[in-house]
Amino acid sequence: MNVAAVRPAVIAKTPADQRVVPNLRDAERRSFSWPAMRAELDGLPGGGINIAWETVERHARGARRERVALRWLGRTGGRRDITYAELSRASNRFANALRGLGIGKGDRVFVLSERVPELYFTALGTLKNGSVLSPLFSAFGPEPIRTRLTLGDAKVLVTTEGLYRKKVASIAAGVPTLQHVVLIGTGQGTGAIEGTLGFDALLAGAGEEFEIERTVEEDPALLHFTSGTTGTPKGALHVHGAALMHYMTGKYALDLHAEDVFWCTADPGWVTGTSYGIIAPLLHGVTSIIDEADFDAQRWYEILATQAVSVWYTAPTAIRMLMKAGVELARARRYPALRFIASVGEPLNPEAVWWGQEAFGMPIHDNWWQTETGGIMIANTPDMDIKPGSMGRPLPGVQACIVHRDAAGGIAVVDESNVEGELALKAGWPSMFRGYLHQEERYRKCFLGDLYLTGDLAKRDRDGYYWFVGRADDVIKSAGHLIGPFEVESALMEHPAVAEAGVIGKPDPVSGETVKAFVSLHAGHEPSEELKLTLLGFARKRLGAAVAPKEIDFLATLPRTRSGKIMRRLLKARELGLPEGDTSTLEASA
Ligand code: ATP
Ligand code: MG
């Protein structure tokens, strides 16, 4: 008998599951108001709001000044604790350096770096200066870097000497707006490479006091590029007022309490690594773990255990890799401090939610958002019973609905439960993007009336839980059925041999499209015709003949974005022999 078949549909929470009282309970949901939440932030002395004030200065000037803000773990060992007071001084220095270079409000400062402390000083100093921060993932190649710097009118690029030599030197001259390149890791000397500045030298010559630029809610703060899962990445602009959303979601979706040690595993090159790898934990004055190294199952368990991580925010791709490494590895250690695990970025298969229970004695809490939303919108929070496979319920202050588009270009809100449609959000939450860079028309098209249309398909059940169906682009139309790849992938993943699955629609003259699955296997399982037949049968039993895949191929790994999302459009293009399109965010090994 398959174990999954007897699992209950709901993981009920009991008070014993909640070692600290959750920040969000029914009472807070009922009484929520944005003005009340805003009152928990300071605002700049004299008016306005600046993310760097709320994240750093207010703690550096208060009781938390000697608390560790960032605990940095070096790739090859070693650790550096940076207190709120230190973070304030270092980011002030960087802000002064920018000002000294003539870089001001609204100017774009890009950072391309591994996760080293200087990256965080740059980010916060840039915000203090009122300049716009755009973090790029350090694994990008020269061309994706050039495109983004050019699109974003970069004036300053902060990078490391190694990355500069490998990736930037060849393209820097092709970015017309670029005025300064600042290199981390060149020590006190300047001019390690002609035409560049040294980060340390620049900061050594800059003062420790800085008066934050008087920014207001609508002033631009961040420029994030989307993951490129469905096409060419878009540049989404965010404002300083977004801090309110980061604060609210840090409090309610991640349940941050003052004494927490928090670890967000995302790189700041993706929106999660900035909103939750930098901003939200600092807003709450907690200690945030930064690991310089890349994914490694053994290392990650060690960090969770030895750093006493209490709240952990990660992604389905990482969880699937941990699952691949075997639950025994997780269980070889103990995690007495750990009390809450959340995940974002892709649908979290029920199998992964349950695995959390097996590995850590607690389920993994899925939540949903996008680069465009700037912060978590729909979430499983600590007080909620979990329905594995559901992304949870809208957070307070967030209004979601399911809509259908009609042929005339209008939309109708679907009132019934369990009906699939496009997920839409009532526009106006604080961290809503304020534009796609240089794509005004595309931005406008995301809104209809007072709704923002997400491009994701979902349904809502009777209890108000939302269920992800698929991206509008990925949904398969087969013999009159609409099939979401997530459902098919999750069913395949219930089979013990399957580590990952990616499902596409393949054009078919009879049914419109047929369902084709690509799977990678757990260690110890080999591709074979026999296993293929077993999996086809397994899926048919769970999903029915209309929805189950007709074809299965084995792949060693599935093509993924560097932020860890399965790129179904690439599976499809490869299957059909079509051009691959923009692959700037494709993970190198795929
Ligand atoms: P692009 O817009 O360039 O194609 P992208 O949409 O992957 O890339 P992101 O903004 O990083 O870029 O990702 C947001 C998307 O990720 C969501 O629209 C959704 O499709 C998916 N996603 C995020 N979290 C979840 C989740 N919990 N469940 C299901 N899907 C999720
Ligand atoms: Mg998107």
Indicate the domain borders of the chain.
51-460, 474-576
Q: Two tokens at 154?
A: 């970069």
Answer whether 565 contacts ligand 1 (Cβ < 6 A). yes
376 residue type, one letter:
I
Q: Is the dihedral of CA 197, 198, 204, 206 positive or negative?
A: positive
Ligand number nearest CA of 471 is 1
Answer whether 371 contacts ligand 1 (Cβ < 6 A). yes
**For position 123, what pLDDT does the model report?**
98
Ligand 1, closest atom to CA 454? 18
Give strand pairing partners of 405: 411
User: How far are the Cα atoms of 363, 475, 557 from residue 567, in angstroms, in the given order?
Assistant: 26, 13, 11
Answer whether 363 contacts ligand 1 (Cβ < 6 A). no
Cβ density class 343-371: b for 16+ within 10 Å, e for less? bbbbbbbbbbbbbbeebbebbbbbbbbbb
Exposed, middle or buried, 184 (CB in 10 Å: 0-12/13-18/19+)? buried
Ligand 2 mean position, distance from CA 227 (Å):
7
Ligand 1, closest atom to CA 236? 10
Answer whether 468 contacts ligand 1 (Cβ < 6 A). yes
Cβ–Cβ < 8 Å for 104, 131: yes
Q: pLDDT tens across 492-534, in order? A: 999 999 999 999 999 998 889 999 999 999 989 999 999 999 9
Which of these, 123, 104, 93, lies nearest to 205 by C-alpha position? 93
**For position 16, what pLDDT does the model report?**
81
Answer whether 422 contacts ligand 1 (Cβ < 6 A). no
Ligand 1, closest atom to CA 233? 3
User: How far are the Cα atoms of 81, 306, 358 from residue 336, in angstroms, in the given order?
Assistant: 22, 10, 15
Answer whether 229 contacts ligand 1 (Cβ < 6 A). yes
CA–CA separation, 276 and 281 (whole Å): 7
What kind of fold does domain 51-460 have according to CATH?
Rossmann fold (3.40.50)
Q: Count CA atoms closer than 13 A to 14's CA, side-chain side.
A: 1
- pLDDT in 10s for each residue of the chain, 590 residues: 344 456 889 999 988 888 899 999 999 999 999 999 999 999 999 999 999 999 999 999 999 999 999 999 999 999 999 999 999 999 999 999 999 999 999 999 999 999 999 999 999 999 999 999 999 999 888 998 999 999 999 999 999 999 999 999 999 999 999 999 999 987 766 557 889 999 999 999 999 999 999 999 999 999 999 988 888 889 999 999 999 999 999 999 999 999 999 999 999 999 999 999 999 999 999 999 999 999 999 999 999 999 999 999 999 999 999 998 999 999 999 999 999 999 999 999 999 999 999 999 999 999 999 999 999 999 999 999 999 999 999 999 999 999 999 888 899 999 999 999 999 999 999 999 999 999 999 999 999 999 999 999 999 999 999 999 999 989 999 888 889 899 999 999 999 999 999 999 999 988 899 999 999 999 899 999 999 999 999 999 999 898 999 999 999 999 999 888 999 999 999 999 999 999 989 987 65
Ligand 1, closest atom to CA 455? 18
**Three-point CA angle 247, 249, 316, nearest 5°:** 135
Ligand number nearest CA of 230 is 1
Q: Which ranges of 253-310 would DSSP assign to H, the alpha helix? A: 271-274, 280-283, 297-306
Answer whether 227 contacts ligand 1 (Cβ < 6 A). yes
CA–CA separation, 143 and 170 (whole Å): 10
Q: How many CB atoms lie within 10 A of CB 402?
A: 23
| Residue 364: strand, helix, or coil | coil
**For position 193, what pLDDT does the model report?**
87
**For position 188, what pLDDT does the model report?**
65
Answer whether 230 contacts ligand 1 (Cβ < 6 A). yes
**For position 191, what pLDDT does the model report?**
57
Q: Which ranges of 253-338 would DSSP assign to H, the alpha helix? A: 271-274, 280-283, 297-306, 316-325, 327-331
What kind of fold does domain 474-576 have according to CATH?
GMP Synthetase; Chain A, domain 3 (3.30.300)
Q: How many CB atoms lie within 10 A of CB 444?
A: 11
SS (H, E, C) 30-60: HHCCHHHHHCCCCCCCCCCCCHHHHHHHHHH
Q: Two tokens at 209?
A: 């006091």
DSSP calls for 507-536: EETTTEEEEEEEEEE-TT----HHHHHHHH
CA–CA separation, 227 and 239 (whole Å): 20
Ligand 2 mean position, distance from CA 543 (Å):
27
Q: What share of the chain is helix, strand, coil (3-state, %, to 5)?
A: 30, 25, 45
Q: How many angstroms from the chain centroid is the CA of residue 299? A: 21
| Residue 123: strand, helix, or coil | helix
CA–CA separation, 121 and 110 (whole Å): 13
Q: Count CA atoms closer than 13 A to 466's CA, side-chain side.
A: 28
Pocket test for ligand 1, best of 368, 380, 467 (most atoms within 8 A of CB): 368
Ligand 2 mean position, distance from CA 77 (Å):
36
Answer whether 144 contacts ligand 1 (Cβ < 6 A). no
Q: Is the dihedral of CA 234, 430, 274, 135 positive or negative?
A: positive
**For position 189, what pLDDT does the model report?**
60
Strand blocks (E) in 74-185: 79-83, 108-112, 132-136, 154-160, 180-184
| Residue 566: strand, helix, or coil | strand
Answer whether 474 contacts ligand 1 (Cβ < 6 A). no
Answer whether 226 contacts ligand 1 (Cβ < 6 A). yes
